[in-house]
Structure 1
């Protein structure tokens, strides 16, 4: 049931299971992440991503495309992808960089969209999920670690039977 939290401590998983059993997980999420975003089109997503890139990664390679992708599935463990393709054009090599974000983020809270965009932007500088990668994510979004945990809670909540729109009531979770 808690497949998105498999790498977290058993004590945290127990806390989350208690919240689920008490029907409070949706309330926790609504209390912390009630703000929606207006980034609905691929063009708006490209502009949003470019603004974050310009603010934090000015010297990184340019992006050619950023879009929502309905083919990315949580089941395949891909909420976003960053791809590079190199092509020969005459005597030069041309590299195209694309970021694709799972379309579920159209409806996700604004903080979760920012977290996944930050994650994919970090791959412009760091290819692997190593210490430098997570430090870069933390630099671009200081709450990155908490947002990653809460995104996993959101994904868990979405799969609960009868999950309805959460009611705004704040709660606490400690990792």
Structure 2
């Protein structure tokens, strides 16, 4: 999150947050096993420029919670990057290992940010990485830890906004896994 956003969030009422914000903004990257996933913007640009590429952090957490829950039932998940229409994080389950690849497939037909049907992206090309093998436990742990940290950070800034419907999925996850 950006410092000026934090200052504004400290005093905002839940109703105003629901009406005017609906979201928490800032740079977002998921790091597991030393690998960066969903990295946008890249780490090598100055913080002042990152404001231009601000991410929908709350949306990322909602989607990662969906991934977390779905990995219990599915052996294939593709998560669309929020900031563009062509990049996907493909997750394939091989027992206790996840095989992650970045796929490029532009589509305006798919409205979902999350798919479980491997055939949908079968003609996609690889993006900046492919076939990175990581521990499923480490991946799930990272989602759990970062979601809890995010919740607690918002709680420390202004716990009133956590009553917003926008935080319902994060709040429910936090209450289950804290």
TM-score scaled to structure 2, two decimals? Answer: 0.21
**Structure with more strand by fraction:** 2
Higher relative contact order by CA 8 Å / sep ≥ 6: 1 or 2? 1
